[in-house]
Amino acid sequence: MATDYSKYLRMEKLPLYWCPGCGNGTILKAMITAIDELGWQNDDIMMVSGIGCSSRATGYVDFHTIHTLHGRAVPVATAIKMCHPDMHVIVFSGDGDSTAIGGNHFIHACRRNIDLTVIIVDNWIYGMTGGQYSPLTPTGTKASTMPRGNIDPNFDIAELAKGAGATFVARSSVADPMILKNYIKKGLSHKGMSVIDALSNCHIQWGRRNKYGDPVKLVDLIKEKTVTKAKAAKMSEEELKGKYVTGILYENTAKKEYTQAYKELVEKAQNE
């Protein structure tokens, strides 16, 4: 059945404030569709976000929402999850928000393997604050604070999350919204830290500085830059340079979940 978005959105807040064609809306829609397919109730979901374009998403959805400090979405979500282990806690965050300003919080939440779903809207730039380069801005591309091209090598969120200890890592893009929805659905139902790296288009701040000012053109570029996991296995390292491998990159169900471990500790202490 078709998804009735009005059940999950605060319709009086629409239209969305994002620029025409912004990928944030596509990712938000993918998340809402995934929640609809899982059949979760609005009151069971807690959505947390920091500061940024993508983090405005909490204003539009009709769940329990909290809009916190810049980069501090993950610690707030961790606290909520510890207080309400039955609640589904989702963090909707941008690339600068979660890997630069909140980078430390992010890796430690991964290390603890707490049951959060972190959706990282990876649009390669700080969109809201004026186009500063982020740790995910591709090397060689321009940003307002890097007018001659970025010289920084960038993060690979998937490897970072995997190395830090997250138990579900997936990547997809706005060019494949159906696949993105499936990964978000799997991430939401996964018990443990799940990180979904959703490549998105910022044709205003990143695109205009790099000759991709049109949303359709930029979505095409993203489609060009992504390769599936199966295809990447057959490609050499040189061919994979600058490409993004999509798919479920890591899944581990054996590692203990943090709230579960805490509950066991409490029970053990009470029985002593």
**Interface with another protein (CB under 8 A):** 1-2, 5, 9, 14-16, 18-26, 29-30, 33, 174, 177-178, 181, 214-216, 219-220
Strands 125-126 and 116-122: what pairing?
unpaired
Indicate the residue among 211 and 256 with the shorter CB distance to another protein.
Answer: 211
The least distance separating another protein from the CB of residue 38, rounded to whole angstroms, comes to: 17
Q: Which CB, 36 or 257, lies closer to another protein?
A: 36
- Rank residues 18 and 124 by Cβ distance to another protein and give the closer one: 18
Comparing CB distances to another protein, the nearer of 49 and 259 is 49
- Minimum CB separation of residue 143 from another protein in Å reads 22
Smallest distance from the beta carbon of 98 to another protein, in angstroms? 21
Q: Which helix (H) or strand (E) holds 106?
A: helix 103-112
- Rounded to the nearest 10°, the torsion over CA 29, 4, 65, 73 is -20
Q: State the Cα–Cα distance between residues 73 and 169, nearest whole angstrom.
A: 19
CB of 21 to another protein, least distance (A): 3
Separation CA 68–CA 47 (nearest Å): 11
CA distance 106 to 102: 6
- What are the DSSP calls for 140-175, one per residue? T--BTTBTT---S----HHHHHHHHT-SEEEEEETT
Taking the complex as a whole, the smallest distance from the CB of residue 22 to another protein amounts, in Å, to 6
Strand runs labelled E in 71-162:
88-94, 116-122, 125-126, 132-133
Least distance in Å: CB of 39 to another protein?
18
Q: How far is the CB of 71 from another protein (least distance, A)?
A: 25
Nearer to another protein, 214 or 251 (CB): 214
Q: Which residue, 28 or 107, is less far from another protein as judged by CB?
A: 28
Residue with tokens 């095409």: 220
Torsion of CA 189, 246, 78, 80, to 10 degrees: -50
Q: Peptide bond preceding 147: is omega within 30 degrees of 0, i.e. cis?
A: no
